[in-house]
């Protein structure tokens, strides 16, 4: 995705979207960036927030998709390397805005695995990486930098 964005860089405003991870460049229709909805982890036709993205990548990791039941317990595809099992986390969905899509994808998974508080602590040491987390309590928590991108947010909202 980053390579595609690099090739399109001089072409004017564009957005490259591959499976929900995206890179947005420029200002379409003289706007302030591309409006992007962040999908609810369990209600795919509902968004938890809308953001404006410009000259940045965005990626979301969630336990809401690729789920199954095994031995009476819900399992998912995000494996915690500390346990070798599906992650137990209070972060149901994490969206990261970063300079590159590869970074956004890696940090989205890392923050999801760490959980809300540890994930926000981890992000405090990073520059130009911002997050929105949909928590197991059904609220939205985001970094201060991410909150500046919000045009709409559903549910409870808190700065991390």
CATH code assigned at 83: 3.10.520.10
Tally of domains in the chain = 1
CA distance 42 to 39: 8
Domain that residue 53 falls in: 2-159
Model pTM?
0.85
pLDDT value at 40 more than 70: yes
- pLDDT value, residue 50: 93
Q: Name the region of 94 (left: φ>0; alpha: ψ -120 to 50; beta: rest).
A: beta
Strand partners, 69: 74
More confident residue, 159 or 53: 53
CA distance 95 to 115: 13
């Amino acid at each position: 995705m980053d390579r595609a964005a690099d090739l399109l860089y001089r072409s004017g405003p564009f957005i490259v979207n591959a499976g929900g991870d995206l890179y947005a460049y420029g200002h379409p229709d003289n706007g302030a960036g591309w409006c992007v909805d962040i999908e609810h982890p369990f209600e795919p036709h509902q968004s938890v927030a809308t953001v404006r993205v410009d000259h940045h990548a965005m990626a979301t990791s969630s336990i809401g998709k690729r789920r199954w039941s095994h031995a009476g317990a819900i399992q998912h595809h995000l494996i915690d390397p500390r346990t070798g099992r599906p992650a137990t986390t209070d972060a149901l969905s994490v969206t990261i805005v970063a300079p590159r899509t590869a970074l956004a994808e890696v940090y989205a998974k890392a923050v999801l695995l760490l959980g809300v508080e540890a994930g926000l602590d981890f992000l405090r040491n990073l520059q130009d990486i911002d997050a929105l987390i949909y928590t197991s309590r059904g609220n939205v928590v985001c970094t201060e930098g991410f909150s500046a991108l919000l045009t709409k947010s559903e549910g409870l909202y808190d700065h991390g």
